[in-house]
Chain A
Amino acid sequence: MLRDVTIGQYFPGNSLIHRLDPRFKIVITLIYILMLFTGSNVVCLAVGAVYTLIAIYLSRIPLKMFWKSVKPLLPFLLITALLNILLVDSGDVVFKWKFLKITTGGINISVFMIIRIVLLIMGSSLLTYTTSPITLTDAIERLLSPLKLLKFPVHELAMMMSIALRFVPTLIEETDKIMSAQKARGAEIDTGSFMTRAKNMISILVPLFISSFRRADELATAMECRCYNGGEGRTRLRQLKAAPRDVVALIITIMFYAAAIAVSIVYKQLTK
């Protein structure tokens, strides 16, 4: 049930992808996303797909896990595809009935969009599957640190992110517990009409909010007891160190991007 949520779940491991410096991993993921969105034809995406599959293979994480992260977004994907098929009007007409018209252009674009989004989800899941939330926020803090010059509260932001991530499983567990307790008192949560269910949500949300505030309060006290007063002069237990392999991974990614652009230019000229 609630425990099956996988978005942002980390799979501990020791693969090459796991060991990459998280800062490089974030930059690489950004380049990857850029590659998917600047590529305007199928060939470009094919290069992206090859790149994704190689990376997934190297990470040693079963392909099934990636399917799990795509699955919740399927309805959204299907609706986008359907709208594209029905609304895009270009190329040859394949099917026509009253005001409905399906064209080859529409089919092409909808397939293209689906592949692009699936690749996007798989790529970004790879980042969160292979990087623990704590190192991820560490890396974000480091990458954003130039913004400190503009008085942007980088450390505070990173701290809030890591606290939020840390408490997601705790809150899921807590919600589960409160739901069971209210069900034991006859609250209809997964049965009953929409209105009774909505009303019964109150019986879950109120205790959940109260315990969140209590936890926040306790955490703040615990942090103060250990003399936390912001990021100033704070040292780190785990220092991030870039290794040659990180640079190599970055270069390979850039090469793939260049290859994708080159291939798509050639493809365009061939199909002209």
Chain B
Amino acid sequence: MAILETQQLTYTYSIGSPFEKTAVDHVDLKIEEGEMVGVMGHTGSGKSTLIQHFNGLLRPTSGKVLLDGQDIWADKKKIRDVRFQVGLVFQYPEYQIFEETVFKDIAFGPRNMGLDEKEIKRRVLETAHDIGLKEELLKRSPFELSGGQKRRVAIAGVMAMEPKVLILDEPTAGLDPAGRDKILAHIKAYHERRKNTILIVSHSMEDIAGFADKILVMNKAKLFCYDDTEKVFGRAEEISEIGLDVPQITKVFVELKKQGLDFGKEVYTVPYARDLLLKHLHGKAGDGQC
């Protein structure tokens, strides 16, 4: 059974005013447990609105959101439990930090869950390790840390609730390449260890191609496609048409195909492309056509 499902999900902002706008339009979606999903879409395509429905921050204008097959709005009072099961990390999450120490800030979510001190401590230590924060940092004030470290503290604050589904809205925005790679590597390792479901919104196709099993593309409030990474990048031209970029390496191979060199497969990561090209060149060498 799908862990997260939407049925005809629609959300309209400021109904009845001149600013009325439908941000999510009849979206049907099924996300299976344990998947790593990349979410793509233009600014204003409705992806941020969509993900805020998954943990009940926004209530659908019409349609349903199902978590484990249960309508999350069936009992309004239980919506807080949904937020513990579906963790949402906003864009630039470091602005939500407020406690005196890193430890306390990471513990804020678990404490709201009503866990006992021992369990809180276990979770804080574990997530700090997962996201690559050294233990001595936990006693420091979060406001003394570097930008990348703050970002990781904020992400850890959501991870520590140990949600079944973790959603990250552009977790690497505004970071330098080293900070970006570090965060993505930690998230990937966390996913491999815990096998939970993760959704990552990103503008960087290179990043998405590197980790996602599946890709969800939003366009003009509608679901454009939701499919395996390979198949989505297989529609490279359509994706370019709606104004999104495919990874550069995919572009190279699309051009190669036009020139008559067809590998019959979609290529979206550099290591894979290297293997493919090497094999091809060796094959040619073997034919003696070099």
Contacts and interface: CB of A to CB of B under 8 A. Distances in A.
B90 A177 contact: yes
A182 B113 contact: no
Interface in B75-96: 77, 80, 83-84, 87-90, 93, 95-96
Given A178-B95, A180-B57, A186-B83, A210 B143 contact: yes
A183 B57 contact: yes
B83 A206 contact: no
Contacts of A174: 95
Contacts of B84: 186
Contacts of B55: 184
B38 interface: no
A186 B80 contact: yes
A182 B105 CA distance: 11
B109 interface: yes
B98 interface: yes
Identify the 3 closest CB pairs spanning chains A and B, nearest first: A186-B112, A206-B98, A181-B96
A169 B87 CA distance: 28
A188 interface: yes
B52 A186 contact: no
A69 to B, nearest CB: 16
15 contacts: A174-B95, A177-B95, A178-B96, A180-B52, A181-B95, A181-B96, A184-B88, A184-B90, A185-B83, A185-B108, A185-B109, A185-B157, A202-B98, A206-B98, A207-B96
Given A180-B52, A185-B161, A187-B108, 18 more contacts: A3-B14, A177-B95, A178-B95, A178-B96, A182-B96, A183-B83, A184-B57, A184-B89, A185-B96, A185-B108, A185-B109, A186-B83, A186-B112, A186-B113, A188-B80, A188-B112, A203-B96, A207-B95
A178 B92 CA distance: 11
A39 to B, nearest CB: 36
A211 B94 CA distance: 11
A203 B108 contact: yes
Nearest to A192: B80
Nearest to A181: B96
Nearest to B94: A207
Interface residues of A, number: 20
Interface of B: 14, 52, 55, 57, 77, 80, 83-84, 87-90, 93, 95-98, 108-109, 112-113, 143, 157-158, 161
A235 interface: no
B73 to A, nearest CB: 15
A191 interface: yes
Given A191-B80, A203-B98, A210-B143, A185 B112 contact: yes
Contacts of A191: 77, 80
A186 B161 contact: yes
A222 B248 CA distance: 37
B143 A186 contact: no
Nearest to B57: A180
Contacts, number: 57
Interface in A188-219: 188, 191, 202-203, 206-207, 210-211
A196 B12 CA distance: 31
A168 to B, nearest CB: 18
A188 B95 CA distance: 18
A206 B89 CA distance: 19
A2 to B, nearest CB: 13
B109 A186 contact: yes
B13 to A, nearest CB: 10
Nearest to A202: B98
Interface centre among B87, B95, B109 (most CB of A within 10 A): B95
Interface centre among A177, A181, A211 (most CB of B within 10 A): A181
B45 to A, nearest CB: 19
Contact of B93 (A181, A186, A202): A181
Given A177-B90, A203-B108, A184 B98 contact: no
A3 B15 CA distance: 13
A203 B55 CA distance: 20
Contacts of B87: 184
A211 B88 CA distance: 21
Nearest to A182: B96
Contacts of A203: 96, 98, 108
